Amino acid sequence: MCLSLPARIISIEGDMGQVSVGGVIFQAGLQMVEGVRVGDYVLLHAGFAIEKMKEEEAMETLRLLKEMEDAINGSDGDEVC
Amino acid sequence: MKFVDEFRQRSQTESLARLIAEAATRDYTFMEVCGGHTSAIHRFGIPSLLPDRVRLLSGPGCPVCVTSADYIDRLIALASLRDVTVALFGDLMRVPGTLLSPAAAVAEGADLRVVLSAHEALQMARSDPRRKIVFSGVGFETTAPGTAVTVMQADSEGRDNFYVLSAHKLMPPAMEAILKDGTRIDGFICPGHVAVITGASAFDFIPERYGLACVVTGFEPADLLMSVLMLIRQVNSSSPSVETEYSRAVSREGNQRAQAYLTEVFEPCDVQWRGLGHIALSGLRLRDRYRRFDAGAAFTVSLPESIRASACICGEILRGVRTPPECALYASQCTPEHPEGACMVSEEGACNSWFKYRHDE
């Protein structure tokens, strides 16, 4: 029930939208997210978009993860900060 | 799937597991308080990637599991009234009430129907104005704003056949109740989707007042392991704080639009939690302005009195005091097909997750 999944907005009509979760289409209330557009990713929970996903933050977390991987694998002097 | 697959890479989990093994210099116990985390931790086999010194405990974060039998009884009683339909989330259908589960009540003629959202329940009310639709509002801060939006819609269109029976609850007061109750942990894997709404700052009181580590965490394997590593580092350096690993969805201040909907429609109230008992100001009830939508006030029902005598230890499991295999009923009289307690019913319940993913241990 706490399940929330990243969903891509494929159409918007008023404060409702159609979103795709890995190809499965759901209706989503968009009242809680400001200024979203078709193509944006939102977090879908119980029929509502509860937040817009932040691409830059996702990239930053992935960069940190990569840094850790490199640190643990890299005895070859890779740059690690 | 974008925002999911990138956080499920084997290379990430392998490195994180090694870093955790290196960092773990003492015994650690961390508690997750989101049913989604419980389910993900077991599904991805996270405990098998951790050293023995790092123990993960499940807390009271499955909204279905902590919903009292009294609430289930009330839903069934409402759905047994002649002109009432109860719309509820599917997870609730098999939760035991005092005498019956909602699914068993349907077999006896009660009108309970599964919906995926509060909006769908309102749609039922619109399409059959002669029938009274009661939406079962269950869930934490993540779910309650959707109910609030829907009540405001029903209000603005002057609907008089839509009601809510709220069992919505707030997570931070339950986390504090567990700490006051004496459960010994070193930190919390804080609930990512609750924090989307409340903001990570909702957990600041935990390091400040209780000196415990907190990391707001996502739901993929790399998220979970990264958070365990962050928690261990906080403990090792004796510098408890609230860090956010799940920054692609969670901010410090949270979703303020959602918070505004919540505050407009609901106010905090004292409620009963299955397993934890009475917790002050941990529930949400409709404010006076929206009281006409309150199914508890609009209908009079009689409830069964008998209390189920059972050896079920869901209560202790929800407080993290014991684990599912310590229950005498686990996997014998209590299975996902024939659940005795709520923790075995829900996909996100600790017993259900143990049974599905760790039964051979």
A contacts of B348 (beta carbons < 8 Å): 1-3
CB contact under 8 A, B3 and A41: yes
Q: Which of residues 70-99 of B touch A (CB under 8 A)?
A: 89, 91
Rounded to the nearest angstrom, the minimum Cα separation between A58 and chain B is 5
Least confident piece of the model among A51-60, B98-107, B316-325: B316-325
Give chain B's largest Cα–Cα span.
Answer: 65
Query: A5-73: which CATH number, 3.20.20.70, 1.10.3720.10, 2.30.30.140, 3.30.413.10?
Result: 2.30.30.140
Question: CA of A22: which chain B residue's CA is closest?
Answer: B1
Q: pLDDT-based confidence at B304, cuts 50/70/90?
A: confident
pLDDT at B318 over 90: no
SS (H, E, C) chain B: CCCCHHHCCHHHHHHHHHHHHHHCCCCEEEEECCHHHHHHHHHCCHHHHCCCCEEEEECCCCCCCCCCHHHHHHHHHHHCCCCEEEEECHHHCCCCCCCCCHHHHHHCCCCEEECCCHHHHHHHHHHCCCCEEEEEEEECCCCHHHHHHHHHHHHHCCCCCEEEEEEEECHHHHHHHHHHCCCCCCEEEEEHHHHHHHCHHHHCHHHHHHCCEEEEECCCHHHHHHHHHHHHHHHHCCCCCEEECCCCCCCCCCCHHHHHHHHHHEEEEEEEECCCEEEEEEEEEECHHHHHHEHHHHCCCCCCCCCCCCCCCHHHHHCCCCCHHHCCCECCCECCCCCCCHHHHCCCCHHHHHHHHCCCC
Q: What pLDDT, on a 0 to 100 scale, did the predictor assign at position A79?
A: 44
Mean pLDDT to the nearest integer, B94-108: 93
Question: CA of A42: which chain B residue's CA is closest?
Answer: B249
Rounded to the nearest angstrom, the minimum Cα separation between A64 and chain B is 10
Higher pLDDT, A10 or B314: A10
Q: Does A67 touch chain B (CB under 8 A)?
A: no
CB contact under 8 A, B149 and A41: no
CATH architecture, range B1-309: 3-Layer(aba) Sandwich (3.40)
Q: Does B253 touch chain A (CB under 8 A)?
A: no
What are B254-271's pLDDT values in tens digits?
999 999 999 999 999 999
Residue in the block written with tokens 């990264």: B226
Q: What pLDDT, on a 0 to 100 scale, did the predictor assign at position A76?
A: 46
Q: What pLDDT, on a 0 to 100 scale, did the predictor assign at position B87?
A: 98
Could you tell me where in chain B the CATH 3.40.50.11750 domains are found? 1-309
What are B204-241's pLDDT values in tens digits?
999 999 999 999 999 999 999 999 999 999 999 999 99
Q: Does B116 touch chain A (CB under 8 A)?
A: yes
Could you tell me which residues come within 8 angstroms of residue B8 by beta carbon, excluding any fewer than 6 positions away?
A: B220, B221, B222
pLDDT at B62 over 90: no
Q: Does B114 touch chain A (CB under 8 A)?
A: no
Question: CA of B218: which chain A residue's CA is closest?
Answer: A4
CB contact under 8 A, A73 and B191: no
pLDDT at A48 over 90: yes
Q: What pLDDT, on a 0 to 100 scale, did the predictor assign at position B342?
A: 82
Q: What pLDDT, on a 0 to 100 scale, did the predictor assign at position A2?
A: 55
Q: What pLDDT, on a 0 to 100 scale, did the predictor assign at position B306?
A: 58
Mean pLDDT to the nearest integer, A19-47: 96
Q: What pLDDT, on a 0 to 100 scale, did the predictor assign at position B64?
A: 87
Q: What pLDDT, on a 0 to 100 scale, did the predictor assign at position A71?
A: 86
**How does DSSP classify residue A69?**
H
What are B276-303's pLDDT values in tens digits?
889 999 999 999 999 999 999 999 999 8
Domain locations in chain A as residue ranges: 5-73
B contacts of A32 (beta carbons < 8 Å): 145, 149, 255, 257-258, 261
Q: pLDDT-based confidence at A77, cuts 50/70/90?
A: very low
C-alpha distance from residue B221 to each of B13, B41, B44, B61, B191 (Å): 7, 8, 6, 19, 15
Q: pLDDT-based confidence at B65, cuts 50/70/90?
A: confident
Rounded to the nearest angstrom, the minimum Cα separation between A77 and chain B is 17
Q: What pLDDT, on a 0 to 100 scale, did the predictor assign at position B307?
A: 60
Q: pLDDT-based confidence at B182, cuts 50/70/90?
A: confident
CA B43 to CA B64: how far, in whole Å? 19
ipTM of the complex: 0.91
Q: What pLDDT, on a 0 to 100 scale, did the predictor assign at position B316?
A: 87
Mean pLDDT to the nearest integer, B322-328: 92
CB contact under 8 A, B62 and A1: yes
Rounded to the nearest angstrom, the minimum Cα separation between B180 and chain A is 25
CB contact under 8 A, B142 and A4: yes
Least confident piece of the model among B26-40, B195-209, B319-333: B319-333
What are B123-136's pLDDT values in tens digits?
999 999 999 999 99
Least confident piece of the model among B103-117, B277-291, B300-314: B300-314
- Indicate the average pLDDT of chain B: 94
CB contact under 8 A, A48 and B146: yes
Q: What pLDDT, on a 0 to 100 scale, did the predictor assign at position B42?
A: 94
Higher pLDDT, A22 or B305: A22
